[in-house]
């Protein structure tokens, strides 16, 4: 018996026609980077699937990581054996006896039609062997088995797989270009970043900080969120931290209180667009959801985003808060996002912000002060932090 495998199925990538090789090559590259903690793994990329050879690494630990790789539709732990049915019987019994499920089904697929016996005949022969060598009472359930054993008979070998596990889906990160995620410390923007990466878009992040009004804990919270997100990519995300204090104070000094939020968001978009151009990012991404706060009404979005020409992606735009929270919990960002440390959007919150702001009124406040110089200063003084798992997360950055 050869070493254990993890068999990876591509799913959506299979629809890419002539571009399939580009997508699968990127998936292979990302998989190697995400699984770098398992140095003995080797990879065998085929037309419609990929085999990850375990070489002694624990399949459960590797599987946890494989489940986070975008571009993988499903996967199974697999055994590769010679085309000998006696070897197949041995492995099938071993797999079932190492589990604690009470019902099973064996499903044989004969890609090589020259192999002796029909699929049903092989199923029955294997099931009979399992019953004779089971370490507990078992039943066959053909409709809803707790354990599905797939026997895939091919020309070169036979592959034996356990239950099909769901992958992260989507496209490999990087095949869709790069975007700049406007990341706060809240629940929504990390989810927006995750969903963007799922569609194959690589991300960098921009974060607005207003020290001393925002503190080290708020910054650490943001970096911890990035550290979770980077584990769904190639392992590294660049973060651009903007010192927003001077500009934010100027906005509140030179705007009516009801329009301060609108003008502040317009400044954030201007800075983000300029930084995106410097970093070759093709779009901005944010966690805006229609109607969630005053700056996220359709009227506000129209008044705020008229200042930029870059595409804006809003992956959670039509999700309600509970749906966003469910995703945040699933991807591991929720518990970090609810830490009680304020970001620059939650300090100086106006008592009655305009929910239907007029763009011409915002322009009027901006014309009364030279904000452009402060916007330029924010872009030029952006601090780059590379989050790649090597940073001491308790490090004092100030």
Output 377 or 13, whichever has higher pLDDT.
Answer: 377
Which pTM value belongs to this model? 0.85
Please say if the pLDDT value at position 23 is more than 60.
yes
- How does residue 347 score in pLDDT terms, banded at 50, 70 and 90? low
pLDDT for the residue numbered 398: 32
Both structure tokens of 201:
């878009």
DSSP E strands in 254-300: the ranges are 284-285
Give buried/exposed letters for 227-238 (b at 16+ CB in 10 A, else e). Answer: bbbbebbbbebb
- How does residue 223 score in pLDDT terms, banded at 50, 70 and 90? very high
pLDDT for the residue numbered 19: 81
- Token pair 């550290």 is at which residue? 227
Backbone angles phi, psi at 70, to 5 degrees: -65, 140
CA distances from 228 to 160, 165, 188, 191 (A): 33, 22, 14, 11
CA nearest to 347, candidates 275, 253, 221, 245: 245
Average the pLDDT over 144-154 and give the result.
92
What share of the chain in percent tops pLDDT 70?
A: 95
What share of the chain in percent tops pLDDT 90?
A: 71
Work out the number of other CB atoms within 10 angstroms of the CB of residue 361.
17
Please say if the pLDDT value at position 344 is more than 70.
no
For residues 264 and 247, give the distance between their C-alpha atoms in angstroms, rounded to a whole number.
Answer: 8
CA nearest to 8, candidates 83, 82, 59: 59
Contacts 24+ apart (CB under 8 A), 319-324: 319/289, 320/289, 321/187, 321/289, 321/292, 324/187, 324/188, 324/191, 324/287, 324/289
For residues 354 and 334, give the distance between their C-alpha atoms in angstroms, rounded to a whole number.
Answer: 29
- How does residue 310 score in pLDDT terms, banded at 50, 70 and 90? very high
Please say if the pLDDT value at position 395 is more than 50.
no
Both structure tokens of 208:
């607005």
Please say if the pLDDT value at position 355 is more than 90.
no
Average the pLDDT over 183-187 and give the result.
92
Backbone angles phi, psi at 24, to 5 degrees: -70, -30
């Amino acid at each position: 018996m050869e070493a254990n495998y993890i068999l990876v199925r591509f799913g959506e990538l299979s629809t890419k026609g002539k571009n399939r090789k580009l997508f699968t090559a990127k998936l292979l590259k990302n998989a190697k980077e995400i699984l770098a903690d398992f140095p003995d793994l080797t990879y065998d990329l085929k037309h419609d699937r990929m085999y990850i050879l375990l070489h002694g690494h624990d399949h459960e630990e590797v599987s946890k990581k494989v489940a986070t790789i975008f571009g993988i539709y499903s996967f199974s732990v697999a055994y590769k054996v010679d085309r000998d049915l006696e070897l197949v019987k041995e492995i099938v019994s071993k797999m079932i006896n190492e589990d604690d499920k009470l019902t099973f089904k064996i499903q044989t697929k004969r890609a090589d039609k020259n192999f002796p016996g029909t699929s049903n005949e092989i199923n029955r022969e294997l099931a009979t062997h399992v019953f004779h060598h089971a370490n507990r009472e078992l039943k066959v359930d053909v409709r809803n088995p707790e354990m599905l054993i797939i026997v895939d008979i091919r020309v070169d070998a036979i592959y034996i797989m356990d239950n099909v596990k769901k992958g992260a889906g989507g496209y490999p990160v990087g095949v869709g270009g790069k975007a700049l995620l406007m990341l706060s410390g809240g629940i929504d923007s990390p989810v927006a970043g995750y969903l963007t990466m799922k569609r194959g878009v690589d991300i960098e992040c921009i974060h607005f900080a207003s020290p001393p009004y925002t503190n080290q804990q708020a910054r650490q919270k943001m970096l911890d969120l990035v550290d979770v997100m980077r584990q769904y990519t190639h392992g590294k995300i660049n973060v651009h931290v903007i010192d927003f204090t001077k500009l934010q104070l100027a906005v509140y000094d030179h705007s009516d209180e009801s329009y301060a939020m609108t003008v502040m968001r317009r400044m954030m978009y201007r800075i983000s667009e300029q930084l995106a151009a410097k970093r070759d990012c093709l779009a901005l991404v944010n966690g805006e959801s229609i109607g969630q706060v005053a700056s996220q009404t359709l009227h506000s979005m129209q008044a705020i985003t008229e200042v930029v020409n870059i595409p804006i992606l809003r992956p959670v735009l039509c999700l309600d808060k509970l749906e966003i929270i469910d995703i945040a919990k699933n991807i591991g960002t929720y518990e970090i996002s609810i830490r009680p440390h304020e970001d620059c959007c939650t300090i100086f919150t106006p008592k009655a912000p305009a929910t239907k702001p007029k763009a011409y009124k915002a322009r009027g406040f901006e014309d009364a002060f030279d904000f452009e110089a402060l916007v330029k200063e924010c872009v030029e003084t952006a601090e780059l932090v590379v989050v790649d798992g090597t940073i001491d997360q308790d490090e004092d950055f100030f």
